[in-house]
Amino acid sequence: MKMTQSGRRDSFCLENRPIQHTDAMSRIEEASEFNAVLQVNPEALNAAQRSDEERLLRTIGTKSPLHGIPILVKDNIATKDKVGSKPALESSVISKLRAAGVVILGKTNLSEWANFRGLNISNGWSPRGGQTLGTYYPNSTPAGSSSSSAVATALGLSTAAIGTETWCSILGPAELNNVVGFKPIRGLISTDGIIPISSRQDVIGILTRTVKDAAYLLSQMAGRSERDERTWHIPFNPIPDFTTFCKGTDLSGVTIGASFESALQTLSSAGAIVVENADFPQADEFKKLNEHVKGVVRSSEFKRDIYPDRDIGKFLWTQAEGVDIDGDKYKEMVKQEQFFGDEGGILGAMKKYHLDVLVVPADQDIGNDLAANMDSPVISVPLGFWPEDTSVQLDKKKPNLVKVAPGMPYSLIFITKAFPDGVLLQVAHAFEQLTAVRENGPLPIKVPETEMMGIQRKAERM
C-alpha cells in the first residue's frame, strides 16, 4: 500500500504493475464459481481514474496511504453507490474510507441475516448470492457470516474487504481462507449503517492479507461518529497511525499467555515473556452455560428490531420469543454473558497472569465464544495447514460442505484488553513475519490468472 503515497501507483495495481479496471472485473468473473461478489460498483472505474489523476497531477495531494486502493464491502453495510436500492444514510465507516481515497469496488455475499436466519443454515449461503465456497479445498465451507469478504481477500479480488461480526463472523472466515481477520474493540469503529443483530456484540471488522494492511485500514476507519454513541468514548484524539506498531519482530517486555506449543516457541524467540497454560478462571462454568441463554441474549434485540410484526416461526430468534428484554430474567442472562466476557473469561485470565496478550487456537470454541462476549480487540493470523494425511471432516451445519481437509488452513487468535490495539497489532505482526505462513504455504485451489499472486506476495514483504 505504501506505493500510493509517492504518486507512482495506479489504482487496481500492485507494485507498479497496472491492472486495468477490466482486469479487475476479469478477476471477479474468473472467480465466479466461489460466489463471493454480489455486485460490482458501476462507479468504481470513475473513482479509480479520479484517484490516479489526483495523485499524478497532485491536484489535491494524496488523501491517505489508501488513496486509490480497491476494497469490497459486506452487503449488510450501507453504501450510497449505484448498487441496487439506496439507503437514506451511508455508513460512517464507508464515508471515512471514501474520504481517505478508497475505491469501493462492490458488495460481497454473506450468510443470510448474518447467520441469524437459523441454527442449521449453511455458512456463506444467501438466497441472493447462493452458496459461497471456501478457497483451499473443493466444496469447502467458507465459515461465516463475513464469508465472501474473506474469500474475496484470499483470491485477491480486492486489496481488502470489510465485514461485520456478532459471533466469530470475522475470525472464522479469516481462518478457513488463510487471511488476517481483525475485530476491533466495539466503539473504535462506528457500526452505524449496518443491519443490526446485537447492540452489545455487533462490530465492523477488517479482512486483509497482512496484519499491516489491517493497520492501514484501521487508521482510516477508526474514529468518532455522531450517529454512534459508543465512539464518543475513544480515549485518544487524533486516531493514531496503527501501522507504527507493525515494525520488526522484537517483543521484548511483552507478556503473552499461550497454550499452543509452536506458537509458544515462535513468540518466545521474539523476546516475549510467555506464560504457558494460561487458563480462563471460569472455563468449566462457561462450558456448562445453557446454549439457550447464549442464543436468547444474542437474538432478543434482533427479534425485536427486525420484522417484529412478521411471521418469524422458522427463524433463529424464535428462541427469544416471550423474553422481555427489559425484564429481570433477560437482565440476568445478560449479566451471565458479561461475566464470562470479563472476570470469568479472557480478561480474568489476563489479570490473573498479568498478560498483555492472550493467544489461543482459532478453532477452539471456548476462545471464540469468550472473545465474542468481551469488549476487546481480537485478531486472527494464519498458523498453518492441515497435513496430507488429515481425514476429511464435513461441516455439521451443512454436511455437503467440507470443514477440515488436507491443505486447509488454520489460525491463531490474539486477544488483548480494551483499547491497546497497538500492542495486539505489534504481537500479531511479529508472529506473522516470523512464521510467513501465507508467503510459504499453498495457494488457493484456484487463482484468477490476472491476479498475480507472486507479485502480491512480494508486495506484502515490502
Task: List the catalytic residues.
Answer: 74, 145, 169
Helix (H) or strand (E) holding 173: helix 171-176
C-alpha cell read off for 426: 505489534
Alpha-carbon distance of 367 to 345, in angstroms, equals 9
Alpha-carbon distance of 114 to 146, in angstroms, equals 8
C-alpha cell read off for 55: 495523485
Alpha-carbon distance of 456 to 408, in angstroms, equals 20
- Please list, in sequence order, all residues whose beta carbon lies within 8 angstroms of the beta carbon of residue 120, skipping any fewer than 6 positions away: 397, 398
Task: State phi, psi for 149 to the nearest 5 degrees.
Answer: -65, -40
As a whole number of Å, the CA-based R_g of the chain is 21
Task: Report yes or no: 443 and 156 within 8 Å, Cβ to Cβ.
Answer: no
What ranges make up the beta strands (E) of 156-219?
A: 160-165, 180-183, 203-208
Per DSSP, the three-state class of 423 is helix
- Please list, in sequence order, all residues whose beta carbon lies within 8 angstroms of the beta carbon of residue 345, skipping any fewer than 6 positions away: 280, 281, 282, 283, 286, 339, 370, 373, 374
Task: Report yes or no: 218 and 378 within 8 Å, Cβ to Cβ.
Answer: no
Q: Identify any residues that bridge with 194 across adjacent strands, giving them in sequence order.
A: 77
